[in-house]
Amino acid sequence: MRTLERRVAEAITDHLARGGPDPDPRALARVIGEAAGATGCALVVDGRRHQWGDGGGPWREHDIACGGVVVGVLAVTPESVGPLSAVAAVLGAPVAAIRLVEETDRLRREGDAAVRALDDDRWRAAAEMEQERRGLERDLHDGAQHHLVSLRMSLALAEHAIGTGAGLERVADLEARLAETERVLIDTATGILPDALVAGGLATALRTELARHDHVTLDTAGLRRRYPAPVESAVYFVVLEAVNNARKHAGGARVAVTVRDGYRGLEFAVADNGPGFAVASSNAGLPNLAARAASVGGVVDVRSAPGAGTEVSGVVPI
pLDDT at 96: 85
DSSP E strands, 78-189: none
- Rounded to the nearest 5 percent, the helix, strand and coil shares of the chain are 55, 20, 25
Q: Where is pLDDT greater, at 131 or 72?
A: 72
- Mean pLDDT confidence for 165-179: 71
- Mean pLDDT confidence for 262-285: 81
Q: What are phi and psi of 297, to 5 degrees?
A: 85, 10
Q: Which helix (H) or strand (E) holds 194?
A: none
pLDDT at 22: 58
Work out whether the CA dihedral 254, 257, 258, 264 comes out positive or negative: positive
Query: pLDDT tens digit string along 226-256?
Result: 998 888 988 998 999 899 888 888 878 899 9
- Name the pLDDT band for 217 (thresholds 50, 70, 90): very high
pLDDT at 272: 93
Q: Where is pLDDT greater, at 260 or 176?
A: 260
Could you tell me if residue 309 is left (phi over 0), alpha (psi between -120 and 50 degrees) or otherwise beta? left
Angle at 159 between CA 153 and CA 160, to 5 degrees: 100
Query: pLDDT tens digit string along 24-46?
Result: 788 888 888 888 788 898 989 88
Under 8 Å between Cβ of 153 and 247? yes
Q: Enter the pTM of the model.
A: 0.48
β-bridge partners, 66? 69
pLDDT at residue 143 tops 90: no
- Mean pLDDT confidence for 51-73: 85
Query: pLDDT tens digit string along 81-100?
Result: 766 777 787 788 878 888 88
Range of 29-33, 160-164, 217-221 with top mean pLDDT: 217-221
CA distance 48 to 110: 17
Q: Is 282 helix (H, G, I), strand (E, B) or coil?
A: coil
pLDDT > 70: percent of the chain: 75
pLDDT at 1: 45
pLDDT at 191: 58
Under 8 Å between Cβ of 15 and 97? no
Look over the chain and give the mean of its residue pLDDT values, rounded to a whole number: 80
- What secondary structure letter does DSSP report for 274? S
- CATH fold of 194-318: Heat Shock Protein 90 (3.30.565)
Work out whether the CA dihedral 30, 35, 39, 41 comes out positive or negative: negative
Torsion of CA 81, 84, 88, 90, to 10 degrees: -70
Portions of the chain given CATH number 3.30.565.10? 194-318
